[in-house]
Amino acid sequence: MLGLPDGTQACLFDLDGVLTQTAKVHAKAWKQMFDEFLQARAKETGEPFVPFDEHADYDEHVDGLPRADGVRNFLASRGITLPEGADDDSPDATTVHGLGNRKNQLVLAIIDRDGVQVYDGSVAYVRAARDAGLRCAVVSSSANARDVLQAAGILDLFDHVVDGHTTQEQGLKGKPAPDTFLAGARAVGVEPARAAVYEDALAGVQAGHAGRFGRVIGVDRAGQADALREHGADVVVEDLSELLDTDGAA
């Protein structure tokens, strides 16, 4: 009674925007970081300052992607190219990794100040999935995924966590490539066709579709149900609690 096809053995959950309300935190941090960068650039070049849109720009260019990819994607949308830099660049460095580290610094400060809120419907769904004997994993591009899960008090609900560190260590491509979800399926010992993917980001549902998972469930937190379907979601809900009384045999 989880809205899943018969034979499903595992559930692979994105973190931000699916399990926790940290997508809002990330959008806020991206906006602050990029606006500060764009304002400084406008003063230097005389170009007009066009702020980062935490809805359109966030959804289109950075949501669900590894941090450096998000920086590159947004800058490319503005015709801006920066040096790559290195993973350990200072948050003040005007490089791809420097901007990414500045964004991460802002996220951690907000989480430290405000804590982490979960989506109660999602937590209830995860508990129901575990009670039904399904294996559960988190698949996130965030390097802070374990810390966020720990702060939210739900780390113990998951058998495995694929995060930004896993991506780097295993040389995986980030979403929309299916690599991280495929790694999650391997980690819990299940074939992709026997696993369900839960995503709120367009790049995430695209990754689930590309990986040929048994079901890709789009979680619409931002009024983009049609876009989630267009990118590969088999089912779209506003909250996972909607699936708790659904017979998903297909």
Residue, of 114 and 192, whose pLDDT is higher: 192
Could you check whether the bond before residue 5 is cis, i.e. omega within 30 degrees of 0?
no
Cα 32 to Cα 38, 91, 143, 250: the distances in Å are 10, 13, 20, 44
Closest by CA position to 213, among listed 17, 16, 10: 10
Residue 249 pLDDT > 60:
no
193-241 pLDDT, tens per residue?
999 999 999 999 999 999 999 999 999 998 999 999 999 999 999 999 9
Q: Is 212 helix (H, G, I), strand (E, B) or coil?
A: coil
- Mean pLDDT confidence for 245-249: 59
- The fraction of the chain above a pLDDT of 70, given in percent, is 98
Ordered by start, the domain boundaries in the chain are 10-21+117-243, 24-114
- Mean pLDDT confidence for 8-21: 96
Give me 216's structure tokens. 């890709």
Q: How confident is the model at residue 246 (pLDDT cuts 50, 70, 90)?
A: low
Question: What is the pLDDT, as a whole number, of residue 250?
Answer: 41
pTM of the model: 0.81
- What single letter denotes the amino acid at residue 92? D
Does domain 10-21+117-243 correspond to CATH entry 3.40.50.1000? yes
Question: What is the pLDDT, as a whole number, of residue 143?
Answer: 86
Q: Is 216 helix (H, G, I), strand (E, B) or coil?
A: strand
- Mean pLDDT confidence for 42-68: 92
As a whole number of angstroms, the distance between CA 242 and CA 83 comes to: 45
- Mean pLDDT confidence for 64-70: 89
Give me 69's structure tokens. 């990819």
Active site residues: 14, 16
- What single letter denotes the amino acid at residue 182? L
Question: What is the pLDDT, as a whole number, of residue 126?
Answer: 98
86-113 pLDDT, tens per residue?
999 999 999 999 999 999 999 989 888 8
